[in-house]
């Protein structure tokens, strides 16, 4: 079996491949495939209570461009 730098294969005691460890710094061509499968690469934003409260408190009011200064 050929060896590729940045990829290691873990096998069971029977010799059947079970896991593949891929170094994505060396093999970045796998990133679109992983994203297509639903893997999130970037860490999502962790919303704090303070951030949620500030977002819910904002009031947006549609105004009149012709009467902007009077409102």
Q: Consecutive sets of 10 residues in the chain, 71 residues long: mean pLDDT of each?
A: 84 94 92 90 84 77 74 54
pLDDT at site 55: 78
With 0-12 CB in 10 A as exposed, 13-18 as middle and 19+ as buried, what is 30?
A: middle
* Mean pLDDT across the chain: 85
| Cα–Cα dist 10/7, whole Å | 10
* pLDDT at res. 27: 92
Give me the percent of the chain exceeding a pLDDT of 90: 44
């Amino acid at each position: 079996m050929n060896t590729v730098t940045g990829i290691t294969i873990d096998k069971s005691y029977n010799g059947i491949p079970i896991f593949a460890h891929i170094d994505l710094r060396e093999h970045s061509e796998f990133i679109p495939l992983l994203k297509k499968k639903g893997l999130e690469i970037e860490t999502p934003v962790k919303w704090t209570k303070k951030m949620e409260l500030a977002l819910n408190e904002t009031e947006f009011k549609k105004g009149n461009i012709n009467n902007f200064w009077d409102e």
